[in-house]
A and B are shown apart, each in its own frame.
Chain A
Amino acid sequence: MKSILRITVFVLITLVLILSIVPPIVETPKNFFEFPLIPGLEDKAKIIFFHVPTAWLTVIAYLIAMLYGIRFLKTKDIYNDMKSVSSAALGIVFCFLATLTGSVWAKFTWGSFWHWDPRETSIFILLLIYGAYFALRSALDNEEKRARLSAIYSILAFLTTPFFIFIMPRLMIGLHPGALEIDPTTGQVKASSNPVIKFEMAENMRVVFFLSLTAFTLLFFWLWNLSYRVLRLKYKLQTEMQES
């Protein structure tokens, strides 16, 4: 089962890399291997295949961290805490990657690396919230107590995640796709007209996009499993050494 996962991750990521980079951007696509031109974006439109999956994995990782946190509180099984913390660690890695990739893109699309756009502010706060999670963990020596407190914290922290990722950036005026816009003719605030957020992507781009989401999600599960196994090994070795 696991070898199937590893092979699938390899094949899918390779496929996504080729399919996202190779197709040329043309004004009127005539065949399946051409992407349509979005004025002002050109090739930069291809960032969606890499930036959005990282943000998506952030949410998945934090959700899993919370679910295993709840599980730990129910069962008091330390292995659930290990699953929770390894997921949260991956979540912070991908949250950081989403911020960095978005920031590089912003430099060439909006003009500078950082604007304090609602989307940038919300992901920054999210980074701080989960940074505090690891500060909390490293401050506690007692294993039981650390697991219990961080499980509770992971629940509280995840409650804010949908708000910062899905709600706040859509309620405020901003530059990021999905944010409210000011209509240039009437001067009034209107809903996002960005084609990306309404999933009005070209058919072939949508295929690559969902392929990419699947590939990155599978990659996440592999990395999560690996880091959990390392933590478990470390724990088993420690307890065995204490016993002997």
Chain B
Amino acid sequence: METLVQFLEKNSIYIVLIIVLIVWFGIYFFIYGLDKKVKKIEEKLEK
């Protein structure tokens, strides 16, 4: 863990990468949630 922090401090572009990934995960999980809602609607329609 200590070495990882040191590595990131020296190569701060990877911190930017982590931040971009966090934003992407947030958007991904929002879309995932929407997908689940659509699935529920589809299941209801099938019935």
- A residues within 8 Å of B by Cβ? 17, 20-21, 41-44, 46-47, 50-51, 54, 90, 93-94, 96-97, 100-101, 104-105, 108, 219, 223, 226-227, 230-231, 233-234, 237, 241
Given the contacts A43-B13, A44-B12, A97-B26, A105 and B19 also touching, CB distance less than 8 Å: yes
For B8, the chain A residues whose CB sits under 8 A away are: 108
Chain B 1-47 residues near chain A, CB threshold 8 A: 5, 8-9, 11-13, 15-20, 22-23, 26-27, 30-31, 34, 37-38, 40-41, 44-45
Number of A-B contacts defined by CB within 8 Å: 74
Q: Are A47 and B15 in contact (CB under 8 A)?
A: yes
Q: Are A227 and B15 in contact (CB under 8 A)?
A: no
CB < 8 Å neighbour of B22 from A41, A43, A100, A108: A100
Residue of A nearest to B12 (CB): A43
C-alpha spacing A46/B9, complex, angstroms: 14
Q: Are B26 and A237 in contact (CB under 8 A)?
A: no
C-alpha spacing A93/B30, complex, angstroms: 8
Q: Are B23 and A50 in contact (CB under 8 A)?
A: yes
Q: Are B15 and A44 in contact (CB under 8 A)?
A: yes
Q: Are A46 and B16 in contact (CB under 8 A)?
A: yes
Q: Are B37 and A104 in contact (CB under 8 A)?
A: no
Q: Are B27 and A230 in contact (CB under 8 A)?
A: no
Q: Are B19 and A104 in contact (CB under 8 A)?
A: yes
Q: Are B26 and A21 in contact (CB under 8 A)?
A: no
For A42, the chain B residues whose CB sits under 8 A away are: 12
What are 17 of the A-B contact pairs (CB < 8 Å)?
Answer: A21-B13, A43-B15, A50-B16, A90-B30, A93-B26, A97-B22, A101-B22, A104-B15, A104-B22, A108-B8, A108-B12, A223-B27, A223-B31, A226-B34, A230-B34, A230-B41, A233-B41
C-alpha spacing A226/B33, complex, angstroms: 11
C-alpha spacing A42/B38, complex, angstroms: 44
For B30, the chain A residues whose CB sits under 8 A away are: 90, 93, 223, 227
